[in-house]
Amino acid sequence: MPPEPDDWHRDAACRDTSTPDDWFPDQPGARSPAGARAMNVCRECPVQQQCAAAGAGERYGIWGGLTEARRKRQRQARNRSTPPHIRHGTHAGYQREAYYGIPACDACKAAHAEFQSAKRRIRERRKQRNQWKETG
């Protein structure tokens, strides 16, 4: 006999918890202590993916370690038919690829690395300038 579709429930880490209200905290998401406790249990759960899939359409609560806001962003991303134009070879292109969950192309990775390097150089120059002001 094949397993029932909801058989994953019996393996869920939250099944025997004494505080089921943690998965429906008063404050949204993981900001509250209750939400943080739920997220910690979900991180170690062996059926986290199945739970997240089951809760994909749910409006409230924490499902598979995903808050209401995170599930909403995932739904919105799925509803976008195609991502807007991505300017490849730019830091903005790298950010847009990350936002839409698209693997970054080599040109965008290189642009992002250059952007990070430039930020480090600027930080170092400011640090040196501040040291000169303090000694001078």
Residues 123 and 67 in one domain: no
Final residue of a structural domain among 79, 105, 121: 79
26-49: pLDDT as tens digits: 776 667 788 888 888 888 889 988
Residue type at 83? P
- Lowest-confidence segment of 2-6, 41-45, 69-73, 125-129 by average pLDDT: 2-6
Helix %, strand %, coil % of the chain (to 5): 55, 0, 40
* Percent of all residues in the chain with a pLDDT value above 90, rounded to a whole number: 19
Residues spanned by the domain of 75 = 7-79
Render the burial of 103-119: b for 16+ CB within 10 Å, e for the rest: ebeeebeebbeeeeeee
Residue 85 lies in a domain: no
pLDDT above 70: percentage of residues in the chain: 88
Q: Of the ranges 15-19, 84-88, 91-95, which one carries the lowest mean pLDDT score? A: 15-19
